[in-house]
Amino acid sequence: MLLWVGLGNPEPQMARQRHNIGFMALDVIAATHRFSPWRPRFKGLVAEGTIGGEKVMGLKPLTYMNDSGTSVQAAAAFFKLPPEAITAFHDELDLVPGKVRVKRGGGAAGHNGLRSMDRHLGTPDYWRVRLGIGHPGDKARVTGHVLGDFAKVDRDWLVAVLDAVADAAPLLAGGKPEDFMTRVALLTQETK
């Protein structure tokens, strides 16, 4: 089984914030691949489905971004999952809007959700799907940027990238991160 974690904040007024693109990605993946309805479990919401022949549990921690690891650790421990079975979908300042990169392990780069996961899992050696939201250009504006809602002008690329991630999800589930990134890039190149 694979555990795919969308990072975000649970308040309804935060739903359209850039920081919640991980939640958004999991919602589109779950809808596209006809997962079970979301239900409360592991201090979060879970939905289950099959992607590319692999059983996948989607998890949206409701513990707020800064304590996401509590929910992830509870699910990982219950299912006895190794770090390589866990993938976090999260916002990435260091990528231009709409760019998607996958990597395994690495530092948290100031991302509090990843920092919490590292602390609770005891390792940074899980997969990350980095969803580009762009950098505001000034370090002092970062908090306002990530906690700000996506603008109307972002709608086209945002919908395109979320749909592409869901479409290419079987490649990710099948352990083909390079092919996944290539497919997402091909599907989104027309909206850039």
Listed by start position, the domains of the chain span 2-191
59-111 pLDDT per residue, tens: 999 999 999 999 999 999 999 999 999 999 999 999 999 999 999 999 998 89
* Percent of all residues in the chain with a pLDDT value above 90, rounded to a whole number: 95
Q: Stretch 174-191: mean pLDDT, rounded?
A: 92
Burial grade of 25 (CB within 10 A; 0-12, 13-18, 19 or more): buried
Q: Is the dihedral of CA 16, 17, 20, 24 positive or negative?
A: positive
Place of tokens 């749909």: 163
Domain 2-191 CATH (choose: 3.40.50.1470, 3.40.50.300, 3.40.1280.30, 2.60.120.10)? 3.40.50.1470
115-144 pLDDT per residue, tens: 999 999 999 999 999 999 999 999 999 999
Q: How many residues does the chain have?
A: 192
Report the distance separating Cα 171 and Cα 138, nearest Å.
36
Q: Strand, helix or coil at 5?
A: strand
Q: Known catalytic residues?
A: 19
> Does pLDDT of 173 surpass 80?
yes
CB 47 within 8 A of CB 3: no
49 pLDDT band (50/70/90 cuts)? very high
The phi, psi pair for 89, rounded to 5°, reads -100, 120
Q: Stretch 33-37: mean pLDDT, rounded?
A: 98
One-letter amino acid at 141 equals R
Pick the closest to residue 121 from 81, 63, 172 (CA basis): 81
192 pLDDT band (50/70/90 cuts)? low
